[in-house]
Amino acid sequence: MAVTMTPTARERVARYMTEAPETLGLRFGVTRTGCSGWQHIADLARDARDGDTVFDSEGVNIYVDASSLAVVDGTVIDLVKQRLGEAFVFRNPNAHAECGCGESFTTDADL
């Protein structure tokens, strides 16, 4: 099992962590929402929680809660430039299909 980050994403998260030194890393998971069922969520991890699995991405820790782990296993977190800004992109091998707006997805287990 693993969740990883590209160097670009890792550098951006490290900058966020420098701006908020009380953080431990990135909290990553999913929540039930949208028209397809799952949505990726990411935020700075301010605490370690019971049941978390922690992945080390070359010095930046990624905290994944137990209920999200099977859905996000194998995901690569990237940061891409889009027009005038940048956005995190989640390349999740478990995503079977996305809704039309791209905000949510289903997995084979949801079918």
Looking at residue 66, which CATH number applies to its domain? 2.60.300.12
Instruction: Out of 54-68, 73-87, 92-106, pick the least confident.
Output: 92-106
Is the pLDDT at 82 greater than 90? The verdict is no
Instruction: Out of 8-22, 29-43, 72-86, 96-110, pick the least confident.
Output: 96-110
Is the pLDDT at 33 greater than 90? The verdict is no
For a pLDDT cut of 90, what percent of the chain falls above it?
75
Is the pLDDT at 26 greater than 90? The verdict is yes
What is the rounded average pLDDT of the residues 89-102?
A: 82
For a pLDDT cut of 70, what percent of the chain falls above it?
92
Long-range contacts of 32-36 (CB under 8 A, 24+ apart): 33/103, 33/104, 34/99, 34/101, 34/103, 34/104, 35/99, 35/100, 35/101, 35/103, 35/104, 36/97, 36/98, 36/99, 36/104, 36/105, 36/106
Chain mean pLDDT for the chain: 91
Is the pLDDT at 111 greater than 70? The verdict is no
What's the domain count of the chain? 1
Whether pTM > 0.85 for this model: the answer is yes
